[in-house]
């Protein structure tokens, strides 16, 4: 079993829809939770970064962490064609004195105008 599981999609939605992207994990030691957005032929770009359980909002994006269920989500409101990208969840813990980050394999999202 992988430490981080993420549905690869692809996920196709109409413009304006609410998008829900999810990841589950098995390692209780994960402390920091991140969402990266990756456009085609570009590097992953940090979108959201959170430490605790609960919700964190930034514009149209909301990150949700439920440590008890080992489940994180990213919600995108009023989705736009420019949101079309691959979204990677990432989680980190401290091991051997340094932060180790584990990435999901990514969910490909397409927002149709």
Partner 1 sequence: DAGVIQSPRHEVTEMGQEVTLRCKPISGHNSLFWYRQTMMRGLELLIYFNNNVPIDDSGMPEDRFSAKMPNASFSTLKIQPSEPRDSAVYFCASRNRDRGQPQHFGDGTRLSIL
Q: Does residue 61 interact with partner 1 by CB under 8 A?
A: no
Query: What is the chain's length?
Result: 113
- Sign of the CA dihedral running 67, 73, 75, 80: positive
Q: Does residue 96 interact with partner 1 by CB under 8 A?
A: yes
Q: Does residue 71 interact with partner 1 by CB under 8 A?
A: no
Q: Does residue 45 interact with partner 1 by CB under 8 A?
A: yes
Q: Does residue 85 interact with partner 1 by CB under 8 A?
A: no
Q: Does residue 100 interact with partner 1 by CB under 8 A?
A: yes
Task: Please select the residue that binds partner 1; options are 46, 55, 77, 78, rule is CB under 8 A.
Answer: 46
Q: Does residue 53 interact with partner 1 by CB under 8 A?
A: no
β-strands 11-14, 107-112: how paired?
parallel
Residue 98: both structure tokens together: 């340094």
Q: How many binding residues for partner 1 (CB under 8 A)?
A: 21
Contacts for 39 with CB less than 8 Å, ≥ 6 apart: 45, 85, 86
């Amino acid at each position: 079993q992988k430490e981080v599981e993420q549905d690869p999609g692809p996920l196709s939605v109409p413009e304006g829809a609410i998008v829900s992207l999810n990841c589950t994990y098995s390692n209780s030691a994960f402390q920091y939770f991140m969402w990266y957005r990756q456009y085609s032929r570009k590097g992953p770009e940090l979108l959201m970064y959170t430490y605790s359980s609960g919700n964190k909002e930034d514009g149209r994006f909301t990150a949700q962490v439920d440590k008890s269920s080992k489940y994180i989500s990213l919600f995108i409101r009023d989705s736009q064609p420019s949101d079309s990208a691959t979204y990677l969840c990432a989680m980190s813990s401290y091991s051997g004195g340094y932060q180790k980050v584990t990435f999901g394999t990514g969910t490909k999202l397409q927002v149709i105008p």
